[in-house]
Amino acid sequence: MAKYQEDVKALFEQIGGKANIQAVSHCMTRMRFVLVDPKKANEKAIENIPSVKGTFTQAGQYQVIIGNDVANFYQEFTKYAGIEGVSKDAVKSAAKTNQNPLQRIMGALGEIFAPIIPALICGGLVLGFRNIIGEVDLLNGRTQSLADVSQFWAGMYSFLWLIGEAIFHFLPVGITWSITKKMGTTQILGIVLGLTLISPQLLNGFSVATTAAADIPVWDFGFAQVQMIGYQGQVVAAILAGFVLVYLEKFFKKICPEVISMVVVPFCALVPAVLIAHTVVGPIGWQIGDFIANIVNMGLNSSFKLLFAALFGLFYAPIVMTGLHHMTNAIDSQLVNTYDGTNLWPMIALSNIAQGSAVLAMSILQKRNERAQQVNIPACISCYLGVTEPALFGVNMKYGFPLVCGMIGSACAAIISIGTNVTAISIGVGGLPGILSIYPEYWLNFLLAMAVAIVVPFVLTFIIGSRKLAKEERIFEPKHTNTVAEPDNLAAVQAQQSMQAAAPCLVELKAICDGRTLPLSEVPDEVFSQGVMGEGMAFEPSGDTIYAPTDADVSIVMEDSRHACGLALADGTELLIHIGIDTVDMNGDGFTLFVYEGDHVKAGDKLITFSPDKIAAAGHPKTTVLVVTEPSGHKKMNFNTGIDVKHSETVAAVLE
């Protein structure tokens, strides 16, 4: 009899049957479905299936979390359903058919901006620190800044502009690179194209408005002249130019013989792309970017601005859940470059805070529910630091009312923010640190909005939760089996001793790689960060090899993608090691397996090597996760996070 027969049957029925399954595949922990009609999936019933640890929808895929044994579950499911499984790439392609044109456009924009968001956040912080150092008069009766009275801080103020300029003025380079990476064309050509848009030969784009038309330099081709204008900070123009290059390269690759492709294709793609960028799509993109920025800015400064703010604050969190929020990065960047600031970013930071405050109220309501707290506390912290997905998917959307309470608090805070004209100098860190991105003259206004974003969602969630949450949701009472009645005969004593002997012993897990350890809550994947798969920790590797943390049997490996493996300890404890985030999409490129299912390994044995460069080139974090998926009776698990470790030497975790 199949191990998962009943669960497979239940999942098949609750997901809508064969007619509702367009495609199915799996990764190391999840079944990945593309459904004909996602509404037919009975999510609540699916999550009640014993083998299912959770569900969520992402990029058109309905994902069902199973755990380490997902490969066996998948085999039983496809056999029972009479469905042929497909590759993960095929699932990804099929998932796009579930998206309308707007969703596909927004999804593409999200994928373009995702790799450059860390730089934008860093740049926002840098400009925020420059604000504090050189723009805030704190000294000598509030007449001088730190840079005015200290040569060190004056030098630091000047030095930090080197980074800020590189990120925001040279943004087109990052955009054109990201487009070529996403579209699978030559990335160095994308970089070169971006550099031609911000070359020092050109008139700086920020100086165009103050330069007389007669003073703008030109390329004179005799029959025509082209203005030598730079596109520093321009977003839409860079996006259009990047796609021109991509499609030219793909066209010439298709028609050019392979033997001369290396020479002909780059030349025939890059030269026309640069010319088209400066003569056609650059000027058009500039006008489109200005139009978008002007429309948004008009909405933010019109007589209806408070209504605009209320709607933006109310609906921003649901937009995040769809993944369409990345579009705001483009709008924010355009506003910063057009108006030297953005009113959108403060509202985004306030929405982060509001959702975090709803989780904080849930954490207090569920303070006696240890299982819920494992999700609530990390989600609240990450939300207050600007990462809302764990809170949205793990807590607020699950219960419903915290999400709505957070949305209401966000709307109230947004009204105050726009009503008092709070302006950010740039995109920066969201959540509570978002104040570093705000112009100093608006700090008090932003603090007031922050207070509203904290108090309103917290109070509403606490009041509603006090009435709506059932006892079992507020208090988790595990069944304790460690108390044994005093034996009155020898047989009972022996039985008790036998039970104690069978209890799991202390297990030390050594570091699986060189690098630094992180809390699981900081992993940029909600399945891991929310503890859905179990307790654990993460590593930011400094090398390229993953080692066994202890003596174990290899219970499962992903032989096609080679990015993960499972280990089974002698006492029944099961571990999952997962290299990188979403690296399953790399289809094994850059990974080498040294073990296979059924092998026995000793602590320190080599398991997998990987290429950090290829992971980075694919746009994925190399953060590696170690999760205890089956604790097998271990009641206490201590993970040593926030430290530098050496593989096979440093004790990373202790299971008691």
Q: Is the CATH number 3.40.50.300 carried by domain 507-655?
A: no
DSSP string for 455-491: HHHHHHHHHHHHHHS-HHHHB--PPP----PPP-SHH
Banded pLDDT at 214 (limits 50, 70, 90): confident
Residue 655's DSSP bridge partners are 507, 637
The pLDDT value given to residue 470: 63
Of 260-269, 322-331, 503-512, the least confident: 322-331
Angle, vertex CA 385, rays to CA 384 and CA 386, nearest 5:
90
Nearest to 83 by CA among 35, 39, 37: 35
Q: Of 27, 380, 405, 565, which one is the catalytic site residue?
A: 27
Spans of all domains in the chain: 5-98, 111-299, 507-655
CA–CA dist 642, 183 (Å, integer): 36
Q: Does 505 qualify as catalytic in the annotation?
A: no
Edge-to-edge strands of the sheet including 564-568?
600-601, 552-557, 564-568, 574-579, 624-630, 535-541, 515-519, 644-645
| Residue scoring higher pLDDT (88 or 57) | 57
Mutual angle of helices 151-168 and 117-130, in 10-degree steps: 150
- Predicted confidence (pLDDT) per residue in 412-431, tens digit: 999 999 999 998 877 666 77
The pLDDT value given to residue 390: 64
**Among 70-84, 243-257, 520-534, 621-635, which range has the highest average pLDDT?**
243-257
Mean pLDDT of 605-621: 85
Does 498 score more than 70 pLDDT? Answer: no
Does 481 score more than 60 pLDDT? Answer: no
Paired tokens of 124: 């926002």
Nearest to 241 by CA among 165, 295, 177: 177
Nearest to 437 by CA among 355, 342, 352, 357: 342
Q: Is the CATH number 3.30.1360.60 carried by domain 5-98?
A: yes
Of 393-402, 587-596, 600-609, the least confident: 393-402
- Predicted confidence (pLDDT) per residue in 557-572, tens digit: 887 788 999 999 988 8
Does 124 score more than 80 pLDDT? Answer: no
Of 123-132, 243-252, 470-479, 523-532, the least confident: 470-479
Of 221-225, 358-362, 429-433, the least confident: 429-433
| Residue scoring higher pLDDT (325 or 359) | 359
- Predicted confidence (pLDDT) per residue in 63-73, tens digit: 888 876 787 88
What percent of the chain lies above the pLDDT cut of 70? 84
Is residue 119 a contact partner of residue 128, using CB atoms and an 8 Å limit? no
Terminal Cα distance for the chain, rounded = 35
The pLDDT value given to residue 321: 62
| Residue scoring higher pLDDT (94 or 315) | 315
| Residue scoring higher pLDDT (369 or 651) | 651
The pLDDT value given to residue 616: 78
E strand or H helix at 574:
strand 574-579
Banded pLDDT at 39 (limits 50, 70, 90): confident
Where are the extended beta strands (E) located within 54-188?
A: 54-58, 61-65
Q: What is the pTM of this model?
A: 0.53
Residue 6's DSSP bridge partners are none
DSSP three-state, residue 63 = strand
CA–CA dist 339, 421 (Å, integer): 13
| Residue scoring higher pLDDT (7 or 29) | 7
- In order of 164, 233, 274, 289, the CA distances from 170 in angstroms are 9, 6, 16, 16
Does 87 score more than 60 pLDDT? Answer: no
Paired tokens of 259: 């033997």
The pLDDT value given to residue 248: 95
Is residue 313 a contact partner of residue 350, using CB atoms and an 8 Å limit? yes
Nearest to 256 by CA among 270, 269, 243: 269
Does 456 score more than 70 pLDDT? Answer: yes
Is residue 334 a contact partner of residue 389, using CB atoms and an 8 Å limit? no
DSSP string for 77-99: HHHHHT-----HHHHHHHHGGGS
Nearest to 329 by CA among 536, 651, 524, 111: 111
Banded pLDDT at 502 (limits 50, 70, 90): very low
Paired tokens of 474: 């507020």
Angle, vertex CA 232, rays to CA 442 and CA 223, nearest 5:
145
Average pLDDT, the chain: 82
Is residue 623 a contact partner of residue 643, using CB atoms and an 8 Å limit? no
CA–CA dist 130, 132 (Å, integer): 5
Banded pLDDT at 377 (limits 50, 70, 90): confident
The pLDDT value given to residue 121: 65
CA–CA dist 62, 486 (Å, integer): 52
Of 13-22, 176-185, 494-503, the least confident: 494-503
Mean pLDDT of 540-556: 92
The pLDDT value given to residue 605: 93
Please state whether beta strands 21-26 and 30-35 pair in parallel, antiparallel, or not at all (unpaired). Answer: antiparallel
DSSP string for 501-562: HHSPPPEEEE-SSSEEEEEGGGSS-HHHHTTSS-EEEEEEESSSEEE-SSSEEEEEE-TTT-
